[in-house]
Amino acid sequence: MVGKVIISTQKDKEDLLGKTLDEKFNVIVNSINNEAFEGEGNITYVDKNHFNLYRETSNQIVEFLYSQGMLSITWKYKYFQKEMVYRRNLNGVRNLSLFEQNKIARAIIEEVNYKIQIHKNNVMTIFNE
């Protein structure tokens, strides 16, 4: 078990050799940036395998974490001080084509938009009671 983790971690390093995490998943990152921040999001790295995408004046932040061939995306959205957290773990993403990245991005954006609408409705229901 420990051996598999070490090998998988080594593969992560090889995947990112000569490129950053946001470059590796640039179609996903750019699509989410365009949707959430009108293309004006900033990237702040926590470490080589982990960064946040956000805009200073925004009510949302998207976290990307890559580990053992899995990309975890956590999208946090605040509405009237109530936070909605969407999390998606994508397995087997070491060698995604641009088409596959685009398909993933579209699915995530669609899911998040749906969750945000439900969240807004729930928050407004609470305020209207």
Beta-bridge partners for 62: 53, 75
Q: pLDDT at position 73, please?
A: 98
Give per-residue pLDDT as tens, 12-67: 778 788 899 999 999 999 999 999 999 999 999 999 999 999 999 999 999 999 99
Is 126's pLDDT higher than 80? no
What is the reported pTM? Answer: 0.91
Number of neighbouring beta carbons within 10 Å of residue 25: 22
Q: pLDDT at position 8, please?
A: 64
The closest of 19, 3, 24, 12 to 68, measured between CA atoms, is 12
Residue 6 pLDDT class (50, 70, 90 cuts): low
Residue 1 pLDDT class (50, 70, 90 cuts): low
SS3 call for 29: helix
Is 2's pLDDT higher than 70? no
Q: pLDDT at position 10, please?
A: 73
Q: pLDDT at position 43, please?
A: 98
Counting Cβ atoms within 10 Å, is residue 60 exposed (0-12), middle (13-18) or buried (19+)? buried
Beta-bridge partners for 65: 50, 72
Residue 21 and residue 48 in contact, taking contact as beta carbons nearer than 8 Å: yes
